[in-house]
């Protein structure tokens, strides 16, 4: 009986330890992938390219040939999400990644409210108009703009 108790305790510890050891980055990537079914976005997979600076670290994931998702980590916490679109042929995936990132940062209740402001900002950018950062969603600020290489979306924790 004592041996069975030890085996059960070891099994419980083994199954809960990975959840405890998950970093903030791993949590956000897993959370992002969990919401992909809502937006039909592709999941973030693979090993990121890591760029370390004095203040923060950037983790860049190549989702497709023309889409990059970049997480900024300061200390142990993810502070922002950036999605870059390098090809006009991948605008649909880009917008899906933007909304999925919003779900991940804002939760499902507030994430539903991302669609309209993201599409509005995209249409402004596509028409060549610059727009201010959007603070319409609780706890985050985001912007979507056009650049020489394509489009980029950045979502940052507010506060």
Q: What is the mean pLDDT of each run of 10 residues along the chain (159 residues)?
A: 49 47 91 95 97 95 98 96 97 97 92 92 92 88 94 91
8-state DSSP, 127: T
Instruction: Give the pLDDT confidence score for residue 159 in this predicted structure.
Output: 66
Nearest CA to 70 among 91, 89, 54, 51? 51
Nearest CA to 22 among 11, 31, 9, 10? 31
- Residue written as tokens 């290489």? 149
Cβ pair 68, 83 in contact under 8 A = yes
């Amino acid at each position: 009986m004592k041996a069975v108790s030890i085996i059960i305790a070891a099994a419980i510890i083994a199954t809960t330890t990975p959840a405890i050891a998950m970093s903030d980055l791993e949590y956000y990537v897993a959370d992002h992938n969990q919401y992909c079914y809502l937006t039909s976005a592709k999941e973030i997979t693979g090993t990121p390219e890591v760029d370390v600076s004095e203040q923060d670290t950037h983790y860049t994931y190549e989702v497709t040939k023309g889409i990059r998702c970049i997480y900024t980590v300061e200390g142990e916490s993810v502070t922002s999400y950036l999605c870059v679109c390098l090809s006009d042929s991948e605008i649909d995936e880009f917008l899906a990644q933007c909304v999925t990132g919003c779900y991940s940062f804002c939760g499902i209740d507030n994430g539903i409210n991302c669609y309209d402001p993201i599409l509005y900002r995209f249409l402004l950018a596509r028409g060549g108009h610059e727009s201010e950062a959007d603070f319409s969603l609780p706890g985050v600020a985001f912007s979507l703009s056009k650049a020489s290489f394509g489009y980029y979306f950045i979502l940052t924790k507010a506060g």
